[in-house]
Amino acid sequence: MVIPAVDIKNGKCVQLVQGKPGTEQVILEDPVKIACQWEDKGARMIHVIDLGGALGETNNLEIVREIRDSVSVPIQMGGGIRTKDDALNLLEMDINRIILGTIAMENPEVVPELSNSFGKKKIVVALDSKDSQVVVRGWTEKTDKTAPEMGKFFENMGAGGILFTNVDYEGLMKGFSIKPLEELLSAVKIPVIYSGGVSTLEDVNKLSKTRAAGVVIGSALYKGNIIFEQALKYQ
């Protein structure tokens, strides 16, 4: 599945380089309108990240709610989910899948708690990898864990899927190395969605030949390097 990204910061749709504030490459005024446009173009899911929440700034949950009310396709949403109550709030908002990042790493038992209450399919764990180590808190802090070992751990804890972001390539528009993804895919059986550095149709084609369940694309779509309708043929 090809999933367009709508990343929200200060009420606007933005694309950052490697998640760093101040590196905005794309700034668009109306995230709700943009989400609707992706649905109109054929998106079967929208990937929404509250970057403001992830970076400890003002959250953008009202805009997320507006997107939820404005599109009919499923939404997977992450960013700023620091507590179990944050997660419950989103699930009660009818967000189809929530993405747990820092909270899952620091409080792993929240994964089975939510999975048992709401169903595995709604609970995705974000494994963001930089220099082969999982990073947390908006990619600002490294852990001593690798994505394959944490993927296996969270699969056993009840996660329904993994969002794997290769931060080394995120936002750079220079392609990516497929090896870290293949190592993770070999370690788990649950669906893995890939993100990071996808910048050409050939990149999408390369991913379509793996066992990855989907790909999230941001900058390449907004800059016109990948035409969304052309990428859909690899679904």
Point out the catalytic residue in the list 69, 94, 128, 168. 128
pLDDT of residue 170: 66
Compute the distance between CA of residue 10 and CA of residue 14 in angstroms, rounded to an integer.
Answer: 9
Listed residue (16, 70, 25, 12) closest to 43, CA to CA = 70
pTM of the model: 0.91
Would you kindly state where each structural domain of the chain is located, as residue ranges?
2-228
- Contact predicate 3/193, CB 8 Å: yes
Residue 144 is among the residues annotated as catalytic for this protein: no
- Which residues make Cβ contacts (< 8 Å) with residue 158, sequence separation at least 6? 111, 112, 115, 116, 120, 123
The answer to whether residue 1 scores a pLDDT higher than 70 is yes
> pLDDT tens digits, residue range 195-232?
988 999 999 999 999 999 999 999 899 999 999 999 99
pLDDT of residue 24: 67
Counting residues of the chain whose pLDDT is more than 70, the rounded percentage is 92
Compute the distance between CA of residue 94 and CA of residue 181 in angstroms, rounded to an integer.
Answer: 30
Point out the catalytic residue in the list 7, 69, 86, 94. 7
- Contact predicate 166/180, CB 8 Å: yes
> pLDDT tens digits, residue range 16-29?
765 666 666 668 88
The SS3 assignment for 113 reads helix
- Contact predicate 180/148, CB 8 Å: no
The SS3 assignment for 13 reads strand
Higher-pLDDT residue of 19, 98: 98
Q: Which neighbouring-strand residues pair with 166?
A: 129
- In eight-state DSSP terms, residue 226 is S
Residue 94 is among the residues annotated as catalytic for this protein: no
Q: What mean pLDDT is reported for the chain?
A: 91
pLDDT band at 39 (very low <50, low <70, confident <90, very high): very high
pLDDT of residue 196: 87
pLDDT band at 176 (very low <50, low <70, confident <90, very high): confident
Q: Which CATH superfamily is domain 2-228 in?
A: Aldolase class I (3.20.20.70)
What is the amino acid identity at position 106? E
What beta strand segments (E) does the chain contain? 2-9, 12-15, 26-28, 46-50, 75-78, 97-100, 123-130, 133-136, 141-142, 161-166, 192-195, 214-217
pLDDT band at 167 (very low <50, low <70, confident <90, very high): confident
pLDDT of residue 73: 98
- Contact predicate 19/165, CB 8 Å: no
The SS3 assignment for 79 reads coil
